[in-house]
Amino acid sequence: MEVEELNSGLAHNEVGETCVICEHLKPRGIHLYTSFICTECETDLIQTDTDDPRYKYFLNKLKKITTPEIFS
């Protein structure tokens, strides 16, 4: 019984992940390597023209994403 109460409490406190672009906690999005991009930022990124000033903002935020090393 205690385990169920503990698990339900954790589920209500932690909903989603932090977006690498907007840096807000969001419930839905995609994973790119080890980073998370929320659906709102993904949509904005896809719809932004390359000559829009926001495009450079997105590029700078995406530079945080690194390819994970593969250890074999």
The residue ranges of every structural domain in the chain are: 12-62
| H or E element, residue 3 | helix 2-13
For the full predicted model, state whether its pTM sits above 0.85.
no
Quick one: which of 13, 35, 16, 12 has its CA closest to 24? Answer: 16
Taking only the tens place, the pLDDT of each residue in 11-58 is 445 688 999 999 999 999 999 988 999 999 999 999 999 999 999 999
